[in-house]
Structure 1
Amino acid sequence: MAVSLREYRARIKSTESMKKITRAMELIAASRIIKAQGRAKAAAPYARELTRAVSAVATFSNVDHPLTTEPADSRRALVLVVTSDRGLAGAYSSNVLKEAERLIEKLKGEGKEVDLYTTGRKGQAYFKFRERAVVQSWIGFSDQPTYDVAAEIGGTLIDAFLADDETGVDEVHVVYTRFKSMMVQEPTAIRLLPLEVVEGTEAPEQGELLPLYEFEPSASEVLDALLPKYVQSRIFFALLQAAASELAARQKAMKSATDNADELIKKYKRIANQARQAGITQEISEIVGGVNALADSNAGNE
């Protein structure tokens, strides 16, 4: 019984140490969420104005740009899957990977070949374990993405879209986790290329005057300059959303782990107390039994 009691005390001590770790990780994730949300909000005005500029050029010019032209026969698609570099975030990575699998099955059902690109070690490890080829991966920035990384990813995807050889693709999709609130993070799949700019295409109201635009040096060159930045901006926004979602998921997972550790500590303490009480009861019984045996022996001698 004493050995069992020591085991429970050791379990209590180890669980308390684990609780301190999960609590610290919860607090770190909570502090970083605020920064991640702030970065996403700070990037929103630039993305919004860039979208308006692209919409203006695409709507009020008659230029057919390669990034906005629908292919006659789409046979190959590229899928970028945005996952995390680290674990301990609950079902964050598994949910976005499930959404990616649904998109891949849909594209294959349409008769398209799929090229996989990933960000984050979890997505890379997932497809590697299943022996599925990944064309390119980016790792090491999932919770703190930078615009330079988004620009590199965007340039790679645009090059693959514009390539004329066998490596070229006809569609580019991005699967990431959209941050809606601290409690809700939604895996989302969007088609990035060919571009579908919807802002500014609504019919004007009666009496409303349409703006007049002049493009210098030309609408085609303006699109050449704006569209890559637009793609990079959308990728950066997706990375920022995914980072906030990852931190929120990690905070929830670590809070759940801390609560579970509390429950385990209470359980182990209760069992340890029961074991200690049983040991004391057994020792008292042995003492009383010994006293009675001694008394009976003395009475027999008399």
Structure 2
Amino acid sequence: MGAQLRVYKRRIRSVTATKKITKAMEMIAASRVVKAQRKVAASTPYATELTRAVTAVGTGSNTRHPLTTEADNPTRAAVLLLSSDRGLAGAFNSNAIKAAEQLTAKLEADGKQVDTYIVGRRGVAHYNFRERTISGQWTGFTDEPEYADAKQVAAPLIEAIEKDTAEGGVDELHIVYTEFVSMMTQTAVQAQLLPLKLDEVTSAASAAGAAESPAKDEILPLYDFEPSAEDVLDALLPRYVESRIYNALLQSAASKHAATRRAMKSATDNAGELIETLSRLANAARQAEITQEISEIVGGAGALADATAGSDS
């Protein structure tokens, strides 16, 4: 066997092994994205009813609550970036990071200081490599997030929005995540969570996957609050933030699995095409070797016949 043919065969074995791995990863991602979609659908009723409750309390009272009242001159904002712990997902992480950087640049252009909070090892690694300050980071649960993880992420953010900026608090809370539109489409989304804009609560619920939402012209009932509207807001709005972050984590997880499935399918298809190309080259090299061997045999036989004829004469 010639050296060139051995090289082709070695590359075919290597690409074949890679193809098996990418195919397996594609199947795993396909099963996980289905589970993630079910979790997104399961979180819809809670998000819908909680959104209705927050809307009713916010519009039915004149209480100036720090979670619903915008600062007169906001000077500090927090940005929560949702990335993944693992790669091999195409442009999933890069799109989310790019959206977060664009949002940060916009806030800084408005004269606001930005505190960055990151979920996922990929986002943390990106900011650490560029020596950027991270106010908070969480890793290890992006593939299958639970509500407890959302509460863990939301706690310091709610605490920061309730503090005065002079004490290290923030005036605004923004979130950047990847919205799951379909198996083929996932979009990086920027959204302001706090202060809560009541006129945008309905659209936020729809973005979270709500099947039903109150109409713009709907007349909400009047409520009497006991002990007070502020106490109700203190109880409801942190839950609202947690549910929004949880839904964003689920959306991001579903998007990541869909992106991984698509990337691994593309890698598997490319590996198959490469194997076909290498097989054709290997066959051509084998044919060239056979042709060369036949030519050598024919040439040797001809030389032997000439030598025999010369000796007889």
| Fold in common (TM above 0.5) | yes
Task: Verify the 8 A CA contact 1:59 1:201 in the aligned structure 2.
Answer: no
Q: For each residue in 1:20-50, what CA deviation from the matched residue of structure 2 results, as whole angstroms up to 9, or x when unmatched?
A: 1101110111011111010010001001000
User: Residue 247 in 1 paired to residue 257 in 2?
Assistant: yes
Give the structure 1 partner of residue 221 of structure 2. Answer: 211
Q: Give the stretch that moved more between structures: 49-58 or 100-109.
A: 100-109
CA contact (8 A) 2:75 2:113 kept: yes
The amino acid of 1:202's aligned partner reads K
Q: Which residue does the alignment assign to 1:202?
A: 216
* 1:232 CA displacement: 0.4
How far does residue 216 in structure 1 lie from its aligned partner after superposition?
Answer: 2.1
Summarize the alignment of residues 255-294 of structure 1 with structure 2, pairs less than 5 Å apart. 255-294=265-304
Identify if the C-alpha distance between structure 1 residues 296 and 202 changes in structure 2 by more than 3 Å, giving closer, same or farther.
same
How far apart are residue 13 of structure 1 and its match?
Answer: 1.0
Contact 1:143 1:243 in 2 (8 A): yes
**Alpha-carbon distance, 1:202 to partner:** 3.4
SS of structure 2 residue aligned to 1:134: coil
- Number of paired residues? 298
3-state DSSP of counterpart to 1:58 = helix
Partner of 2:156: 156
TM-score, with length taken from structure 1:
0.96
In 2, the alpha carbon distance for the partners of 1:212 and 1:129 equals 53
Instruction: Output the amino acid matched with 1:267.
Output: T
Pick aligned residue for 1:227 from 217, 223, 237: 237
CA contact (8 A) 2:127 2:134 kept: yes
Alpha-carbon RMSD: 1.3
Q: Which residue of 2 aligns with 1:21?
A: 21
CA contact (8 A) 2:56 2:220 kept: no
Amino acid at match of 1:75: T
Q: Which residue of 2 aligns with 1:68?
A: 68
Taking a change above 3 Å as real, the CA distance of residues 152 and 211 of structure 1, as seen in their structure-2 partners, is same
What SS does structure 2 have at the residue aligned with 1:72?
coil
SS of equivalent to 1:186? strand
CA distance in 2, matches of 1:214, 1:202: 23
| Partners of 1:244 and 1:13 in 2: CA distance | 33
Does residue 137 in structure 1 map to residue 134 in structure 2? no
Residue 299 of structure 1: aligned partner? 309
Q: Identity, % of aligned pairs? A: 57
After TM superposition, the structure 1 = structure 2 runs for residues 37-52 of structure 1, keeping only pairs within 5 Å, are 37-52=37-52
Report the CA distance between 1:143 and its aligned residue. 1.2
> When the two structures are superposed, what TM-score results if normalisation uses the length of structure 2?
0.92
Give the aligned residue type for 2:70.
E
- What's the CA shift for 1:201? 8.5
Note the C-alpha offset of 1:166.
4.0
